[in-house]
Amino acid sequence: MGFINNPYFGAVAFVSILCADPWVGLALLVGGGAATAAEMALRLQSEVKLRNGVSPFCACLYSTVMATIATEEELRGSTFWLCLVGGAVAWCATIENIMPPVL
């Protein structure tokens, strides 16, 4: 998982996804932002995982899948975005228990 803490990879991946489908790019940004904010505010993860971006990475994966399988009508509703943020924060809260320790 050496690519998680690489900001250049994150920027290239985000721009690529945003160009391919703006809704999925927006979901990636919202999900990753919600996970990062929750991680920082609630101190759910260790400092190492916060710096490496493990939780936002998993939340971004979750968010892109959710936006990919959602219909256009669902993407325009507030229920989708509330579920997206809730799921991203839930990933952030549970990742400590399912990921192996990082140095």
pLDDT value, residue 42:
81
Q: Tell me the domain boundaries of the chain.
A: 7-98
* Helix, strand, coil distribution of the chain in percent, nearest 5: 80, 0, 20
Alpha-carbon torsion, ordered 101, 65, 74, 92, to 10 deg: 10
- Average pLDDT along the chain, 103 residues, taken 10 residues at a time: 64 88 92 86 76 77 91 89 90 66 54
Rounded to whole angstroms, the Cα distance separating 36 from 49 reads: 11
Q: Which contacts qualify for 78-81: CB closer than 8 Å, 24 or more apart?
A: 81/30
What pTM, to 2 d.p., does this model score?
A: 0.80
Predicted local distance difference test score (pLDDT) of residue 1: 37
Residue 96 in tokens:
């400590």
Q: What is the pLDDT of residue 98?
A: 62
